[in-house]
Structure 1
Amino acid sequence: MRPCLTILVGLLLLCGSLSAQQTFTKAQLQADFAVLQKAYKTLHPGLYKYADSATIDRYFIDCQALLNHDQSLTDAYLSVMQLTAQLKCGHSYPNFYNQEGAVKALFEQDNCLPFQFRLIDNRMLVTHSIDPAVAVGMEVKTINGTPVATIINTMLPLVRADGANNGKRLRLLEISGQGFEYFDVLFPMLYPRGLPAFRLELANLRTGKPLAVTVQGMRHVVRNEQIRKAYTISTDTVATFRWLNPATAILRINTFAAYNKPFNFGKFYEAAATEFGQKSGQNLIIDIRDNEGGDSWNGKQLIRHLITKPIVINEQQNSWAYVCMDSTLNPYILNKWAYQWRYRTDNEFIKSASGQYRSVNERQPKPLDPNYKPIVARVFLLTSATNSSAALQFAAAMKEHKLATLVGQQTGGNQKGITAGALFFIELPNTKIEVDVPLIGMDYAEAAKRPDAGIMPDVYVKPSLLDALNGVDTELVMVQKLIEKHN
């Protein structure tokens, strides 16, 4: 038995012994597993991008073994989470936001830490706190007796990300007030002893003085709301434009997704371009460090302001794993409106040498034309491991077409392509655990040519615990040095 599986089995037994949840029988769990396996093996076009078929088969066998006895919902959820994480697809996981009923209730307990934090070199730095016993800037050394580094290393194999990009996994383990977050979900499942109280060993990074405190857990939504009020943090800021000095402006884009917000990206960019031109700006800093993705068109609209002639952005996301879906999966698809992904015919697709399918009507990418309001400037793009999906694609296009100097850390996502575009939300019949199954990905032959990595910046900036403690924006300072050097 492999180490990762051995650790998880032990944790599952611990969780099960402490849980008062409904118990599911072996037969129920095996029925759920059958649906889970069929969904991913028949629908996922990137299943074998990072591992061969024998390895993928072993992952499913391991999951089936974990579900081969009566157990609680928590145990089953962790087993599913481990399997989907092993597939190394950032869009494949039991989505926190798509769960309902008893599954959703697992995440809505008073057992979350009363503060937010960053992870730098596997060290936990408190960034916002509503408990007076835990000051901002303190380092958390242990939680309920377990070292933070041990906790992080135990959680990492359960976190979604594309390929071997652990930087993305670490960013997802931070608590930043983004709704359901991995640490809030996983810690009570993996380390339930002592909850809802947290016994913390802290260190004052300025003095080196240790401190031991006990704080009470709380619901994540209550904590995040209290932090937003205490620190005056807006939740509706999609993007901002401001001047750092008369020559340099900062365009910060926190997301390319604004489906439920009255925000018009095109008008925002045009207003920024107009102001930049009127004030004779020279340097533009585009900050996407907190941007996980969304609609790729919302990034392309900005690129149109940065080009002087048409360019082609070829994202190579055009392959499916199936033509006719296995009809036995129909009862488990929650997004019933997705008819166009369920009912297709053979004459709509051609089979590639890799065994995937592509539309017979597939068109070459259309050139992206310049906007009539260009931004003429020296452009810098701030990147981080948070950037995946559409944010990865934006960073890739900016680098490929030399539209900016990238400064920061390797992005999340992967150069082997993301698998998304269309998704089925599959609900397992007995536990009611939902899993996201993405449907469109990169052709295996094309992916094989590319490195298993995100987009590397032109200028790498190592995150600094000391800078974070002192409120220094390390990446922005680097850009200012680059501007001064050029001048």
Structure 2
Amino acid sequence: MQKLLLYFCVFLLLFSCVSVKSYNEEIAVNHSARSLKKDVNVAYKKLQKLHPRLYQYIPKPTLDYKFDSLKNTIVTPLTSKQFYEKLAPVVSEVRQGHITVSPPLKRFTSKERKALNKNKFEFYALDFEYLNDSLWIVDTRGLDSTIVGSKAVKINGEDIYKLFKKYKKLFSSDGYNNTFQNRIIASRFSGFYYKDKGFVDSLSITLKKEDSLFTKMFRRIPKDSVKGKKKEIDSLAKKPKKLTDQEKRDLKLKQKEKKNRDYIYGFEKDRNRYTRNLDFIGKDSSVAFMKIRSFGNGNYKNFYKESFAKIDSLKTKYLILDLRDNTGGRLDEIDKLYSYLTDKEYQLIERAEVLTRQPFLTSMLSKNSSSFVKIGAVLLSPFVAIHNLFKSGKNEGKTYYSFSSANIKKPNPLYFKGEMYVLINGASFSASSILSTNLHANKRAIFVGEETGGAYNGTVAGLFKFIELPNSKVVMNIGLAQIETPYEMDPDGYGIKPDVEILPTIEDRIHKIDPELDWVLEDIEVKKNN
């Protein structure tokens, strides 16, 4: 039995190595024009079959023409990456921000991944921001801090502006605003560069700071670098203190409390920060500042329960909700948060328009779903199917699915009764925009910052279908449900616009000034004095 198990493991290892090698060879070769045109047809048919608002921002004849024109341009063999660079700009014309197209990337064997995991790429520690129509380094996360405030001019000899312009064609926001693309490319620049250039061991960036032009190299270095080893040696040199039984119990309790806090606040290990934060500004606790970086990880129910109980007990008069750079997340979380921000019965979203009465099964059986999810979907398919049918229906020829957030709900007894401000920018997207639309439509808050990247009139998201095109292996992720609030804005295709527009500058970042927050605090002071 042990030998059989050993043979099986060896077989899996060999099969994995062979499959990785064959996949890498497949995506590197030139695919025939005929096979790529078939992929174009598959991509468009999948969009038509799955996306409920495909023609919201572009007429069908226009989109038909663009896909036909794309096929006419494919006359010679292309690699998968070359094909991706032709397909993505056409798909982006749909102007639905949750549709993503990605090139197939080189895969690594388990042995190669293990070796790579021993290193860290310095380039990934850089935080970029698009300010003053340029790309700037605003943080280095432990690297050379002297380059903070430097403008990126070139990367490996290529003009940054040209790369930025190229990447903007590969995806879109919801609708017609331009704020989303600038913010997202900047915040995820290393990811865009990796998709474009593939794996690299090092790269150089030409930077400009004041009148000085210079070049910095960024390499893959061991995680246990000299600096790390020195700390380890220093720590080993000190004899660890022997703890008493009581100290051990206290330490264990402290670790448990930290683990619980990390879960509630959503600890982001790679950034050493929390997803959710609550602070009070000023000595009298009259101003609460709630920063929500995403509606994703952690136990959000406990966070909002604890936070608003504290706000209520301190009789806080002003709440600043910071949704800048919050690209979205769970509907259930914004539903829970909104229940603390309104004093009326509410319906967060309408029933979602879909093109299938089995959206959950469709999503679960995606190409990228784990084997566990796929097996579960098959085994539970009768129950999931019945559930989906119960939650969906038809009206005037359209199919709808009812998420729980479409139910009418009452405000939480601890709802905030004071004045609100909401900070937004171009990276406030998806669930952030759904929440902001509700707050804006009900005149619940003063909005400060920049137009959101997500559209006022909703977005196609909620559930997703992952598609791998058969020949090129280019991948697409398609939203399945139109998520919109009971409120609309005319004209369609724009985000929530701030009542007070404030755009930060690189000077603000260098001097650690937050102009949006400063304006709010000044406005609050005026109100207090009056």
- Asked whether the two chains share a fold, i.e. TM above 0.5, the reply is yes
SS state of the match for residue 472, structure 1? coil
Give the 3 Å change call, closer, same or farther, for CA 358–190 of structure 1 in structure 2: closer
Q: Distance in 2 between matches of 1:20 and 1:432?
A: 9
Partner of residue 54, structure 1: 61
- Candidates 203, 206, 209, aligned match of 2:208: 203
Indicate whether 1:243 and 2:248 are aligned: no
Indicate whether 1:213 and 2:218 are aligned: no
Task: Tell me how far 1:369 sits from its aligned partner.
Answer: 0.8
Matches within 5 A, 1:71-150: 71-94=78-101, 101=107, 115-129=126-140, 132=144, 135-150=147-162
Partner of residue 253, structure 1: 292
Indicate whether 1:272 and 2:307 are aligned: yes
Task: Tell me how far 1:136 sits from its aligned partner.
Answer: 1.1
Give the 3 Å change call, closer, same or farther, for CA 312–324 of structure 1 in structure 2: closer
Q: Distance in 2 between matches of 1:28 and 1:372?
A: 60
Give the 3 Å change call, closer, same or farther, for CA 99–47 of structure 1 in structure 2: farther
Instruction: Decide whether the 8 Å contact of 1:122 with 1:148 is kept in 2.
Output: no
Query: What is the one-letter code of the residue matched to 1:201?
Result: T
Query: What is the one-letter code of the residue matched to 1:275?
Result: K
Identity of aligned residues (%): 20
Q: Distance in 1 between matches of 2:73 and 2:351?
A: 34
Instruction: Decide whether the 8 Å contact of 1:111 with 1:196 is kept in 2.
Output: no
Partner of residue 318, structure 1: 352
Deviations 1:37-70 (A, max 9, x none): 2101222111101111122112322433455432
Q: Distance in 1 between matches of 2:98 and 2:386?
A: 19
Q: Distance in 2 between matches of 1:112 and 1:222?
A: 17
Task: Tell me how far 1:148 sits from its aligned partner.
Answer: 3.1
Query: What is the one-letter code of the residue matched to 1:397?
Result: N
Partner of residue 409, structure 2: 368
Instruction: Decide whether the 8 Å contact of 2:328 with 2:430 is kept in 1.
Output: yes
Give the 3 Å change call, closer, same or farther, for CA 324–198 of structure 1 in structure 2: closer
Q: Distance in 2 between matches of 1:151 and 1:442?
A: 33
Q: How large is the Cα RMSD of the aligned pairs?
A: 4.3
Matches within 5 A, 1:390-409: 390-409=431-450
SS state of the match for residue 169, structure 1? helix
Give the 3 Å change call, closer, same or farther, for CA 95–312 of structure 1 in structure 2: same
Any gaps of 5 or more consecutive residues in structure 2? 1-24, 232-268
Give the 3 Å change call, closer, same or farther, for CA 148–319 of structure 1 in structure 2: same
Task: Tell me how far 1:484 sits from its aligned partner.
Answer: 1.3
Give the 3 Å change call, closer, same or farther, for CA 111–351 of structure 1 in structure 2: farther
Of 156-165 and 145-154, the range deviating more from structure 2: 145-154
- Candidates 5, 29, 32, aligned match of 1:23: 29
SS state of the match for residue 465, structure 2? strand
Task: Tell me how far 1:341 sits from its aligned partner.
Answer: 8.1
Give the 3 Å change call, closer, same or farther, for CA 66–344 of structure 1 in structure 2: farther
Aligned residues: 440
Task: Tell me how far 1:167 sits from its aligned partner.
Answer: 0.6
Give the 3 Å change call, closer, same or farther, for CA 277–450 of structure 1 in structure 2: same
- Candidates 340, 345, 352, aligned match of 1:305: 340
- Candidates 479, 492, 509, aligned match of 1:438: 479
Indicate whether 1:420 and 2:426 are aligned: no
Deviations 1:217-242 (A, max 9, x none): 559x999xx9xx9xx97456120111
Q: Distance in 1 between matches of 2:358 and 2:417?
A: 49
Deviations 1:343-402 (A, max 9, x none): 999xx754647xx4346x899943331112232222111111111111110111111112
Of 472-481 and 298-307, the range deviating more from structure 2: 298-307
Partner of residue 11, structure 1: none
